[in-house]
Every structure is written in C-alpha cells, then in structure tokens.
Amino acid sequence: MAKARSRTAARKVKDRWKAKNWYNILAPPSFDSVTIADTLADSPDSLINRVTGVSLQDITNDFRKSHIVLNFKIHKVEESNAHTQFVGHFLTSDYLRRMIRRRKSKIDAVYDAPTLDGAFIRVKPFATTDKRIQNSQKKVIRESMKKTIIEEAAKSTMYEFVKNILEGKIGSEIYKNCKQLYPVKRIEIYKTEIVSQPTIMIADKKPKKEEKTEEETKEADKKEKKSTKKEEKETEEVKEPEKKEEIPEKEEKAEKKPKEIKKKEEPKKESKKSTQKSTTNKSTPKKTKKKVTTKGKNLTVKKKTASKKK
C-alpha cells in the first residue's frame, strides 16, 4: 500500500509541471510598460506579491545605468500579463566599493519623504569626502541633505521624484547645497523603498507633453503652409527675371551680327590690297623678261663674233 501511494504522489508532481503556464511580467506605465521577464505559475493568484529585480539598462538600453537595479512587485494579473508596481531600487555593491576608500569619510542617512500624491518613500543617500571630517561637520551635511530631499519630494509626484533620483538630478542638487558648507566629493542615493503607494491620483506630465506635441504639430503644419506659399511667390519672382534675361541675350546676338559683318568686310579690303600686290608682281616679271631678252641678245652677239674669229 505504501508503494502505491508513493507512485501516485510522484505522478501528481509531474502533472503539476504540465499544468503551469507562462506569464509576461510588465513594468508599470511610468516605465512605458516594458516586458521585464517571463515566469511560470500554476494559477494567476500565485503570482501576486512576487518581486522581480531588473537593471535599468534592460529598460532604457543605456549601458551607463547598468549599476542601478529596480524592484517591481506584481499586484494584478490579466490573461497572460502580470502588471507590477515600483517598490524601490538599489545600487550594486561593486559600484559602491569604487567610491569608498581609506582615509575618507562616508556620511550615511535615512529619511522618509512624503510626495505630492500621498506616497511615502524611504530615501537612503550617502556622501563621500576627500579627507576625514569631524562629527559636527557630518551633522551639518546630513541636515542639508534632509532639507533638499524633503523639499524636492513635496514638489513632485512619486513617479517624478523617482525619475529625478534615477537620473541623478536630486544628487546634484544635494551636492550644490552641501558644497557651500564643506567640499564634498560625491553624493549618491544608493537605495529607496516605497513605504506606501500613492493615495491621490495625479496625472503625470507625460500626457501634457503629448498635448503640446499635438499643438506643435498644428503650428508646424501652419508654418509649412506659409513656407510653401512663400516659396511659390519666390518662384514666381524668380521666373520673371529669367524671361527678362532672355531678351538681352537676343540683343547680344543682334549686336554680334554687325560685328561679324565688319569682319566679313575687312577681308574684302585685304583682297583689294592683294590685287594691287598682284598687279605689281605682274609688272615686275615683265621687266625681268626684258632683261632676259637683252642678255639673250648679248649672248647671240658674242656667239656670232666667236664664229667669225674661227
């Protein structure tokens, strides 16, 4: 009997794997609902409250953000898609080790900051200095860090505040405020935790930007129409001088014709000169003939005298 029960139990375990289905885990709409990962589950209820960690590089395709890890928690399942909420983030240990060195002081702090939409975020910043500093100086730096974090959280929603943390804007503002008190080397927010989700629904700035883009598109269309009209006018203005330019070309041709005639007339004058030269040349050979004849007569006379002497 015991062997039969063990066999049936083994069969049930194998059947569980066959019954599992694949589900796509999606990021929240503030992160453009990107697919984070795929997971197996027996039923959708077993997926709820699962936490997945993803680097920011996988979402934004920016290798410079590979040291930031985001945590998302599943709160709803629809068909084969599991929707998540942002729970917090942290920096990798190797990235933190690079900043901390010997003979330098590290200032840690933990603050709970309420946001504009009713959420509470636990922020954990740290600062580093070039030299070791006293406890009184550390206390002043912590107070300035707390002041800037709470002021920035009260101005913005949870999504905007988290976005500013991930982009490093809040760290740079803390650095500016602390630098007046003591020359701090670097400030980073190495960890955040969402203590409570937002209770008030406030529209993010993304849809406003889309509306602006629609308005901008309309304005751009109007500008394009105006530019096309201007181009048509310019083309008409350009065409008119082209016609005017053709007329002087004809005039130039007309002017060129009398020059050609003059050139043709000039060779006629040359012909007259050539005729005169030819007449002179004709007259000269006659004189030569006369000379030849005279010479010939002298030769004949000489020949006759020679014959008589003989």
pLDDT of 127-168, one tens digit each?
A: 999 899 999 999 999 999 999 999 999 999 999 999 999 999
With contact defined as beta carbons under 8 Å apart, do 92 and 112 qualify? no
β-partners of residue 68 are: 91
What string of DSSP letters covers the chain? -HHHHHHHHHHHHHHHHHH-EEEEEE--GGGTT-EEEEEEESSGGGGTT-EEEEEHHHHH--GGGTTEEEEEEEEEEETTEEEEEEEEEEE-HHHHHHH--TT--EEE--EEEE-TTS-EEEEEEEEEESS---HHHHHHHHHHHHHHHHHHHHHS-HHHHHHHHHHTHHHHHHHHHHHTTS-EEEEEEEEEEEEE--SS----HHHHHHHHHHHHHHHHHHHHHHHHHHHHHHHHHHHHHHHHHHHHHHHHHHHHHHHHHHHHHHHHHHHHHHHHHHHHHHHHHHHHHHHHHHHHHHHHHHHHHHHHH-
Segment 255-277 shows an average pLDDT of 46
pLDDT of 199-232, one tens digit each?
A: 887 766 543 443 445 566 667 676 676 666 666 6
Q: Domain 92-206 is classified in which CATH homologous superfamily?
A: Band 7 domain (3.30.479.30)
**Does 274 have pLDDT greater than 60?**
no
Residue with tokens 């060779």: 267
Cα–Cα dist 110/302, whole Å = 151
pLDDT of 51-89, one tens digit each?
A: 999 999 999 888 999 999 999 999 999 988 999 999 999
pLDDT of residue 180: 85
On average, the pLDDT of the chain sits at 76
User: Considering the entire predicted model, what is its pTM?
Assistant: 0.59
> What percentage of the chain exceeds 90 in pLDDT?
40
